[in-house]
Amino acid sequence: MSERFEIGIDELFVVNVARTIKDKTTVFHGVSSPIPMVAMYFAKLTHAKDMVYFGGVSSAVDPNPPFLPPTTNDWVMIQGRTAMVTVDKIFDLAQRGELDRSFFSGAQIDKYGNQNVSMIGTPEKCKIKFPGGAGGCNLSGDCVNYTIWTTRHRAQRKGDRKFFTFVNKCDFVTNVGHVTPYGRREELDLVGNGPDWVVTELGVFDFDEKTRSMRLRYLYPDTTVSDVIDNTEFELIVHPDVRVMEMPSRAEVEVIRRIDPLGVRKLEYPERELSRRFTI
């Protein structure tokens, strides 16, 4: 076990997401969420054995699937379960303030953690239609906390323009962050406390208590503060004590490979990111 062991960005990313899950909490992932799906199953098998694990829309309680499929609503995801509920019961739990964590992403994300999963343009004149937030609009308001993840932090250059995922302002707010276009969470009487962690392929972030804005906390071994700043449109807060994230153990990575033999954890990345490897 003292030999050197190579892991991919996909595995390290999963661990980063899993670390936002605490034991003895209720956790749900939505649709189009391969990374949270792997991270939740991983957490349930490692540090969060008493987590109440809702396996997506399939809504099995504590499933023990033989492998993880590329779609969240397949019979694979109800195998080895303790019980079945219907998905509306998970939303009830959330609306009662008892769903501890979920995971959301967006094509655009602002500094307060608001996310656009709906569209660029207007409903009447829609330029780009994204899939829609599924349960995100409600759950981002209701969950005790949630984790934002995206594998597309890196801005894209098209000609001389730079397109950001982390934008100054979302064209449309689907899922709500700490300060919404309609006011702060407490002004809106929302049940939940909003996003507390953001995991991207460039770093891990929390939110500054005072300004409620995203704050860089951890870097990957191969990313720098300026990488992160360059790829973020809004002004990013950098924690005075930014560190390189802790690496997972070999045993942990082996769990990930075992539960995800199809590699669905890799589906979310632009091709080039997957060449990022780390030695532990």
Partner 1 sequence: MGVFTDRNKLVTMEKAASMINDGDIVAVGGGLCMREPIALLRELMRQGRRDLHLVGTAHGFDVDFACGGGIVGAVQETHVSFEQDFGLAPNYRRACETGQVKIRENCCNTIIMQLRASEFGIPFVPVRSIKGSDEIKLHPEFKPMIDPFTGKKIVLVPALVPDVAIIHAQKADIHGNLKIMPPYVADVLFIRASKKVIVTAEEIIPEKEMIEEGPTIPYYETTAVVEAPFGAHPTSCYPYYAYDREHISEYIKSAGESAEAFKERYLNKYVYGVKSPEEYLEKIGGKAKRDRLASWKESQERWMELFSYE
Ranges of beta strands (E only) in the chain are 6-8, 26-28, 52-54, 60-61, 83-84, 101-104, 108-109, 115-116, 119-121, 126-129, 145-150, 156-158, 161-163, 179-180, 183-184, 195-200, 203-207, 214-219, 237-244, 277-279
Confirm or reject binding of residue 142 to partner 1 (CB under 8 A). yes
Find the binder of partner 1 among 5, 45, 47, 91 (CB under 8 A). Answer: 91
The backbone region for 59, taken as left when phi is positive above 0, alpha when psi lies in -120 to 50, beta otherwise, is left
Distance CA 114, CA 101 (A): 16
Confirm or reject binding of residue 134 to partner 1 (CB under 8 A). yes
Find the binder of partner 1 among 138, 145, 193, 249 (CB under 8 A). Answer: 138
Find the binder of partner 1 among 139, 216, 236, 256 (CB under 8 A). Answer: 139
Nearer to partner 1, 139 or 219 (CB): 139
Closest distance of CB 75 from partner 1, Å: 4
Confirm or reject binding of residue 92 to partner 1 (CB under 8 A). yes
Distance CA 96, CA 86 (A): 16
Q: Which residue has the tokens 């997957």?
A: 274
Closest distance of CB 21 from partner 1, Å: 13
Token pair in block for residue 44:
């349930």
By CB under 8 A, the residues from 234 to 253 that bind partner 1 are none
By CB under 8 A, the residues from 96 to 115 that bind partner 1 are 96-98
Residues 22-41, mask of contacts with partner 1 (x by CB under 8 A): --x-x---xxx-x-------
Distance CA 33, CA 39 (A): 10
Closest distance of CB 244 from partner 1, Å: 28
Confirm or reject binding of residue 12 to partner 1 (CB under 8 A). no
Stretch that binds partner 1, among 13-21, 129-137, 198-206, 214-222 (CB under 8 A): 129-137
Nearer to partner 1, 172 or 218 (CB): 172
Stretch that binds partner 1, among 139-147, 217-225, 226-234, 236-244 (CB under 8 A): 139-147
Cβ contacts of residue 104 below 8 Å, gap of 6+?
30, 115, 117, 133, 136, 139, 140, 146, 147, 148, 149, 175, 195
By CB under 8 A, the residues from 177 to 216 that bind partner 1 are 180-183, 185, 188-192
Can you name the residues that pair with 17 across neighbouring β-strands?
none
By CB under 8 A, the residues from 56 to 85 that bind partner 1 are 57-61, 66-67, 69-76, 78, 81-85
Cβ contacts of residue 255 below 8 Å, gap of 6+?
42, 45, 46
Nearest to 103 by CA among 52, 165, 29: 29
Q: How many residues sit in the footprint of partner 1 (CB under 8 A)?
A: 85
Closest distance of CB 239 from partner 1, Å: 26
Closest distance of CB 100 from partner 1, Å: 8
Distance CA 79, CA 68 (A): 11
Can you name the residues that pair with 119 across neighbouring β-strands?
129
DSSP state of 93: H
Nearer to partner 1, 57 or 245 (CB): 57
Confirm or reject binding of residue 270 to partner 1 (CB under 8 A). no
